[in-house]
Amino acid sequence: MIRILLAIKRGYKERFLVLRKTQPALRRSVFALLKDYIDKYDMNKAVRVNKTDMTFAFAGGSDILCCGLDDREKIKSIEGVTSVWIEEATEINKEDFMQVDLRPRGENIPSYVQLMLSFNPISKLSWLNSHFFEQHLDDAHICHSTYKDNKFADPASIKVIEDLKNHDETYYQVYGLGQWGVLQNLIYTNWEVKKISIKDDDYDFVLNGLDFGFNHPSALLRIGFKDDELNIFTELYERGLTNNELIPLVKRIVPSEQVITADSAEPARIEEFKQAGVWIKPSIKGPGSVKDGIDWAKRHKINVHPRCVNTIKEFSGYKYKEDKDGNVFDEPVPFMDDAMSALRYAVEDLMRADAFASGDIPEDRETVTGHRPGRMFGNQKGRILRGDRDQGEDFY
């Protein structure tokens, strides 16, 4: 990215295409980062930024185009591309790549033509490994780096990565040292990527779970429940968000009449959401609550919409702890688990409804909550309770 910006600043005429699997993920990551670098290199006066189309038009005729690959047809009409950068390349498939590889072509291009892919190697089964690493390509160069090479890595991030040595050796090899691996003892095998509806009305119930973060991502999942299946159709997944930044994003995603179950370890943040008019409640935590949530979710088929790329990534790597001797523990590795936590919070109400129905929770425990599109429901001893938030009725 920096090399391209410097080339533009030096007078080269570039048409630089920046891609991620989905446009929302691109907007909140690379597009925002490009704006920061343009500020850093004092290029604001020479560039016109179109925030809607996510484009940068430079005074010398160069431009940078940011696009999502959720619809490959979008990029077919783009001509004159000199270089391409695919961020988080593990999100895309080989068909996506082959289509992108046709873009940087043409005669009389004044600078080099290059296609760059950046990613963390995860599974040896990835097409990236077989295509670029297991065979030698004369026109491909592999640049391998780790957190140890990052001069700007903050101490907190370094500690999280190095702590993986104490939790799971395979995780450290993959996420710390950037080595290809085969993640075994995965927690969820009952999921698939599927084009499911993104409309609330197509589900019996819709649930929302929120895991707070800052140095690690804040993760919000919207999940539709129908035919005993969980359908994850919307995600918000972003680092570095204060409540002032997170609350407006959540309000745009979750209808005001729907409740959000959030991480109870952050009571102050939950209270700020309430003060901002968001209907939110804390999750119920206790001994065994993580295991119980995982066990309940594993008993249901889980469908994940292709646009939820970060949730897909977490499902692919969410595994049980394993020591150097191969001993497996009934506890998840505490890394890249923000969406997985949001999943447990979201389904908490349905999980407790099942417990009430089976008699596993005494009568004097809290009433279970959840909601149908446009209204609330609660299930206690087989009865359905309905209420209206505006009337001040709480079911928890």
Residue type, 126: S
Tokens standing for residue 18: 């920046």
Beta-ladder partners of 24 = none
Q: How far apart are CA 126 and CA 105, in angstroms?
A: 27
Domain count, the chain: 2
pLDDT at 107: 56
Task: Evaluate whether 367 touches 395 at the Cβ level (below 8 Å).
Answer: yes
Q: Please choose, from the candidates 313, 363, 374, the residue with its C-alpha nearest in 3D space to the C-alpha of residue 120.
A: 313
136 part of a folded domain? no
Q: How far apart are CA 190 and CA 184, in angstroms?
A: 15
Q: How far apart are CA 30 and CA 51, in angstroms?
A: 13
Q: How far apart are CA 63 and CA 42, in angstroms?
A: 16
Q: How far apart are CA 184 and CA 322, in angstroms?
A: 9
- Between 120-129, 245-254, 275-284, the lowest mean confidence (pLDDT) is in 120-129
| Domain C-terminal end among 94, 119, 144 | 119
pLDDT at 106: 53
* CATH number of the domain residue 57 falls in: 3.40.50.300
375 plus 257 within the same structural domain = yes
Q: How far apart are CA 224 and CA 295, in angstroms?
A: 19
* CATH number of the domain residue 215 falls in: 3.30.420.280
Tokens standing for residue 59: 């005074």
| Domain C-terminal end among 119, 153, 181 | 119
104 plus 198 within the same structural domain = no
pLDDT at 1: 66
270 part of a folded domain? yes
33 part of a folded domain? yes
Range of the domain at 369: 191-391
pTM for the structure as a whole: 0.75
235 plus 335 within the same structural domain = yes
Q: Provide the percentage of residues in the chain whose pLDDT is more than 90.
A: 57
At 287-344, the pLDDT tens digits run 899 999 999 999 999 999 999 999 999 999 999 998 888 889 999 999 999 999 999 9
Q: How far is CA 169 from the centre of its chain?
A: 24
367 plus 220 within the same structural domain = yes
At 342-385, the pLDDT tens digits run 999 999 999 888 876 666 654 444 444 444 443 334 333 332 32
